[in-house]
Chain A
């Protein structure tokens, strides 16, 4: 096994493990901002209880997210030193800005958010929640800027194999950045909304703390109804950007081999792409579908994978299927929401067991869609680390494979251990349920507040 493969495997593994946690914290932070705002505005105690309950889930995710995120920052240097040296002028400042603007903001106010209830006035506490949410979102801004630059580099010139900046504005706001960022932020909001909805639905089915979980579900539901259809739209826009700037990636995502010369390109509904034979096995296609999707015309020309030399093609099997999984989930979510709206209309949102069971079942799908989307984006960029300009094989560190085998083994072992502990503590926090009785901190209590029972 060579250093390239091992380093990619390690980076992919740490990213996939890491991304689960910020995905939820970005979304849950928004949920907490809304909940605390409602508490301060309506003075209904239930919102305070909701905040204190969901913030526990937030805190556990945050802790794991932080430590795994630091790992990634180090891996640029340890595992991809040649890449890092080539691109340092362009994307390293973005990481520095992430540290300065986002990470500090989150870390600085998280303490007040978790421990500051007795120590600061309520407005400062609310402000802290907002700043943590802002920090989490800013974090994705910088990371997506760096990542989308690797997909569609801009604002640079190549001098002796090094990328020199000519225009930071263009480098940050590179062609794929806007859709890349919005797609990711919406994925976070969507994932968190379905997690809260799924957990709430589970306890509603068991008739535990019914009033509490109804309120939680309602809020998550409203969030999901707004975001799920929006995400489908943004996803479509993102597809157009990929088609325009990364045609080989699009061809792999759609498992499209031959460039259509006469008539439209078919949409491959189901297939097993075979890289060796350069064709699909058992394909089910929709005639003209791909042309319609990408060019919005029946006969639009779409480049096929065969247009690219074999050494420049991404792995179609992985890219095609991870993309299918993401898109499938992306459509499933708004479909379930549509069903929910109908139930809401009939005033049966909380007492349709099948709907609640569905919410429970689809709860983890947001994470799966996010990870699949990442794999699609990153595998689709291969064999390039900077699209079209620098090959991944030329980006790795000059280190011994044994180093990476050692670290990879430890990562797998530790991630398994931390992942298992994380599940254990999240499940236990959930099993214990919300605390509906302990006194509200005096500094925080708004005058004339209504207790839990009245407000529901």
Chain B
């Protein structure tokens, strides 16, 4: 495998890590209003308080790595998707400060709202960004040449809604692991209904994508993809039924893992559909990559540092393992 494809896999891995890790943190944020009282809200908050920042850091690294290794993707897409991307950031700002400000506040209602709204806005905008990206970007001479609202259409809005359901599902299954009693019971019910909604969306996307962009199914059925492309929907279907079964059997960890596998199946399907384009339909992966020296220099860092990062991230999760209780803050 050459350097560019190695980096493609690495950036791809970082993005899915971000999606899963910040996905469940954002999902907990979106389920926030379903908590009945302040004590339950504290439980939800405390379930992610020590780790949300580390989860979100995968975004910072993902952004930096994309900029360093595929600068054309970074510069063209960020110009094209200006409004949804900055909306995403605005959402993250409010979600992020809500942790600290809510903990310091006596009148928590407004920060409860900021936490919820920030999470919803961030996720919806992230989905629209993804939908806008899949739909294609106008590129002339290596620069964005489209209009400011190219990303806004029914397909991208649908992806936005699908992502809200998807992250909520991750959040609910995470809460099953971290909580007890009524909060856990509710999370289980929510996970069940959300699973059905997510299943519906995935079916819808599978039908709509080829209609929306006929070049994608053409790529699906080209060699060598035609030999393995069917494994992704199969993986998705298996994960979906495992999820439902484990929820009904009141398992605690399996639902979360199944939900993650469900996400991975959709993600791999998407990647397989887009390759070899880094920016459909204009720029390929090889065209978008930066110079060899930069790829090597950054790879050194990734090889030396990321295993250590993963190590202490796992340690941190280990330190905060077990069920959360309402009063465990630092104030």
Contact = CB atoms under 8 A, between A and B. Distances in A.
Given A99-B63, A398-B143, A399-B144, A104 B79 contact: no
Nearest to A76: B67
A92 to B, nearest CB: 4
Contact of B77 (A77, A92, A414): A77
Interface in B293-331: 293-294, 297-298, 301-302, 305-306, 309, 312-313, 316, 319-320, 328-331
Interface stretch (A57-65, A238-246, A255-263, A302-310): A57-65
Given A84-B75, A100-B309, A89 B67 contact: no
Contact of A88 (B75, B312, B329, B330): B75
A78 B79 contact: yes
Interface in A242-289: none
Interface string A85-128: 10011101101111111011011111110111111100000000
Given A107-B54, A114-B330, A397-B79, A93 B145 contact: no
Nearest to B81: A78
A168 B296 CA distance: 11
B53 A111 contact: yes
A81 B79 contact: yes
B63 A73 contact: yes
Given A108-B316, A111-B51, A165-B291, A92 B68 contact: yes
A68 interface: yes
Nearest to A428: B104
Contacts of A418: 93, 97
Interface string A317-350: 0000000000000000000000000000000000
A403 interface: yes
Contacts of A230: none
B88 to A, nearest CB: 8
A399 B82 contact: yes
A235 B80 CA distance: 41
B64 interface: yes
Interface string B53-95: 1101101110111011101101111110011011001101110
A112 B316 contact: yes
A37 B93 CA distance: 33
A78 to B, nearest CB: 5
B252 interface: no
A297 interface: no
Nearest to B70: A88
A455 interface: no
A81 B57 contact: no
Q: Chain B binding site: helix, strand, loop or mixed by DSSP?
A: helix
A95 B64 contact: yes
A104 B309 contact: yes
Nearest to A165: B293
Nearest to A52: B330
A354 interface: no
A203 B140 CA distance: 62
Contacts of A98: 64
Contact of A397 (B94, B144, B291): B144
Contacts, number: 233
Contacts of B291: 89, 164-165
Q: How large is the interface on A (under 10, 10 to 19, 20 to 34, 35 or more residues)?
A: 35 or more
Contact of B97 (A55, A120, A165, A421): A421
A407 B54 CA distance: 27
A395 B107 CA distance: 45
Given A89-B293, A89-B294, A104 B54 contact: yes
Contact of B78 (A78, A110, A117): A78
Most chain B beta carbons < 10 A, residue from A81, A407, A421: A81
Contacts of A9: none
A232 B104 CA distance: 37
B105 interface: yes
Contacts of A73: 60, 63-64, 67
B113 to A, nearest CB: 13
A92 B71 contact: yes
Contacts of B72: 85
A412 interface: no
Contact of B148 (A60, A71, A399): A399
A119 B97 contact: no
Interface string A402-431: 110011001000100010011001001100
B15 interface: no
B104 A60 contact: yes
Contacts of B60: 69-70, 73, 99, 103
Nearest to B98: A63
B271 to A, nearest CB: 21
A399 B35 CA distance: 42
Nearest to B317: A111
Interface string B30-60: 0000000000000000000111011011011
B309 A115 contact: no
Given A66-B96, A115-B329, A71 B89 contact: yes
B143 A92 contact: no
B65 to A, nearest CB: 5
Given A70-B92, A95-B67, A100-B309, A81 B319 contact: no
16 contacts: A56-B331, A74-B78, A74-B86, A76-B74, A78-B86, A93-B297, A95-B67, A95-B68, A96-B298, A97-B64, A101-B301, A115-B50, A414-B94, A421-B97, A425-B104, A429-B104
Given A60-B101, A77-B77, A92-B68, 15 more contacts: A56-B104, A66-B56, A66-B96, A67-B96, A77-B63, A77-B78, A81-B75, A82-B75, A92-B67, A93-B301, A100-B61, A114-B330, A116-B319, A398-B145, A403-B148
- Top 5 closest pairs, chain A to chain B, by CB: A77-B78, A88-B71, A111-B50, A99-B61, A96-B64
